[in-house]
Structure 1
C-alpha cells in the first residue's frame, strides 16, 4: 500500500486527487479481472480486520468525537461508533461476500438471422467516487460493495470522521492485500480540505461515477460542480399516511418506530399525514406514543391537540433528522396523494391502510424510490432489502433507484459472437 498522503498543509490537493484517480483507474482494471472467489475472500479478510481492530477503530472514533463541538444529538449519533456498530459493519461486509456475483451475468441474448449471437453482460462501472458526511460506517459499506462489484472506489468522508475513516479503510486494504488484490481499489482522500470534493467532481479522466450521500448542501454542490456522472442520494423528507381504513393500533406503533427508532437517518418519517375521518382517534394516541417528539401541526391538527406547535410552510419541506415531526390532516386519499407528491423528497413514503385498493392506488401514484404499505419507513435500507449494505438510496430515476447495492453498481456491455459474417 502506498504511504499515507501528507497532511493538507503540505499538499497540493489537486495533485493528490489526480494521483488517487490514476491509481484507482489502474486498480479497477486489475479488480475487473479478479475472480468472484478472490473478491469474496478479500471481503472476508476485511471483515476479520474490522473485528480484530475494533479497539483501534473506537479509539480513532473517540478522537473524532472529541474534536467536534456545537453539533446536535442527531449528528453526534451518526458519527458515533460502538462495539455493536463496528460488529454490524463487519457483519455487513461478510453478508456482501456471501451474495451472488453481480458480474458476468448474461442479462439478455439475441440470436440474429445472420447467425450473430449477441449477449448483454454485466460489468463494473470502473472508478467510483463516494462523497459522504459524518457516518464513518458508510466508508466500510461503500468500499465493500465496490470491491464486490469489481469497482475501485475513492472515499471522501466528512472531515469530522477522518480519523475513524483512516482505520476503516486500512482494514479494507488489509483484506485486499491478503488476497493479492490491489490495495488502491479502496482509497481515502486523507484531507479535510473541502477543495478535494471539487477536484473529485472534475475528475473526468479517471472517475466514472460520483455518489454523494449527505445533506442538501453537499447535494447542491455536486449538482453545481459535477463534470462526472452522478447518482444522487437526496434528503429523506419521508411521509407516513394513515388512511381512514388503518388499524389504528398498528398504525400508531409503526409510525412511532418510523420516526423514533433512529431520528437521524434518512429513512425516518418526518411528516405524518392523517385522514380527517379518524384524526380525533389517531392523533391523541400518536402524541402519547411520541411523547419525546415535538409535533408541529396544521390548524386542524391543533384543534385536536391545542398544545401542539404550529407548522409553517417550511416544515412541510424539512428533513428534521431529530425528534420533531410535522402533522397534516387531509380529507381523503386524493388529498393525501397530492400533499405527499408536493412535499416528498422522493426517498421513501408509506401508507397505513387495511383497504388494499387504497394502498395500491397510493403506492402507484406516489413517485418515490421506495413506497411502503403497513411498514416503517426505516426499512428503506439496503441491509433490510437483502443487499448486505447500501452505498445510498438513489432518489433519481436513471441507472439505479432506491437502495444501491452491488448489483446496482454495475453497467453492461454487449459481446457479439460471429463466424465470419460480413455486413452487406
Structure 2
C-alpha cells in the first residue's frame, strides 16, 4: 500500500454509508412515497434509493457517498465491513461499487445467515481487524458506533448515525420523526461524509509527509489531530453528571472532552474557560456568566467531536433555549430550518453517535405544530446546516435566533 501511497480505510456499512429497512418495517403511506421517489431516482446517473424485491428491502444511500468513495479510493485501500450477512454485504457492495474496482472483493460480513441487516446495537457484538490485510498502524476506521470496536478505538473516527427510515430510529430507541418523515436529508456538500473526507485527507497528508513510513502510526496522528480540537479549553461540568458521582472522569462526556484536547476539572478556578451545563442557575454557571467564561450545553462537546473542529459556543448556550438544544428530535429541523449555526445542524446529534443525552419529549412532539412560526419568502443562507430545505418548498421559521424559538415553544406549552 505504501508504494501506492495509500493507507487502509475500513468503512462501516449500515447507518454510516447507508440505511436499509425491510418491507415489513415500512408502513403503507411511506411505501407509496418511497416508490415515487425511487421511480424519480432511477433515471439518475448516481442513484441514492433502491428497492430490492428479492431481499424484501429498501436501501437509502447517504448523501455525498459517491463523491466520498471516489476521492477516498485514491488515497486509501477501501474495505467494507457489516454486521449483516453475506448476501446483504454482497448486494450493498454491488450498489456502492458497480464496477468492483473500489472494494475489489474486500468485503467483510459478520452476521449470521438469518441476520440480513446489521442488528440492534443493544445486542452485544464486536468488530475487529482480523480480516483486514495491513498493519493496524496504517488503518483508519469510520463507523457510527464506538462500542463495536473495543480493541481498535484509537483507529476510529465516529460519525453521526444515519437514520433515514422510521424503523431505524425505533431500533435505537430514538424519539422524533426520521429524515423520510420530514422529507429532508443531509446536504452532500457539507454533510457527514464531506466532513469525514476532509479528516481522512488530512491524516493521509500527515502520514506520507514522513520519510520512514514504517515508523509512522496513523493512530498517533489521529489522536494528535483530535487533541487540537479543544486544545486550550479547561472545562468544568455543572449538574451534567448524577449527583454524588464518585468517578466523573469515567463518564463518556468527560472522556470525549479530554480525548479531543480539553482539560476537565471538578472545581472552578481562574484557568477554567468553559462551564458545561444543561441549564442556568447553578453556582458554577453564575460564576461563569459573571467572569466572562463560556457557558455551553453538553452538546457542544459532542458536536466538536463530530465536526472535528471546535463548535461555535454561541450556538450551544443553555440560555438560548429553556429546552435542550440537542434534543433527540429531527422534527425540530422544521422550526430550525432558517437558523444558521451548528446548533441547527446538530439538533439530531444527541441521539445519533452519542445517545446518552436523550430525554423524553413526547408532549412537545405532540404540540410543536401549535407554535406559530410565521413565514418568510425563503430561509436565510446557512452554510453549516445540511438539512436546510429548498426555499420554494418550505414555510420557514421567522425567529431571529434560538431564544425566540425557545420562547415561542415554551409559551405554547
The alignment's TM-score, normalised by the length of structure 2, stands at: 0.31
Q: Which structure dedicates a bigger proportion of its chain to strand?
A: 1
Greater relative contact order: 1 or 2 (C-alpha under 8 angstroms, separation 6 or more)? 1
Larger radius of gyration: 1
Q: Which structure dedicates a bigger proportion of its chain to helix?
A: 1
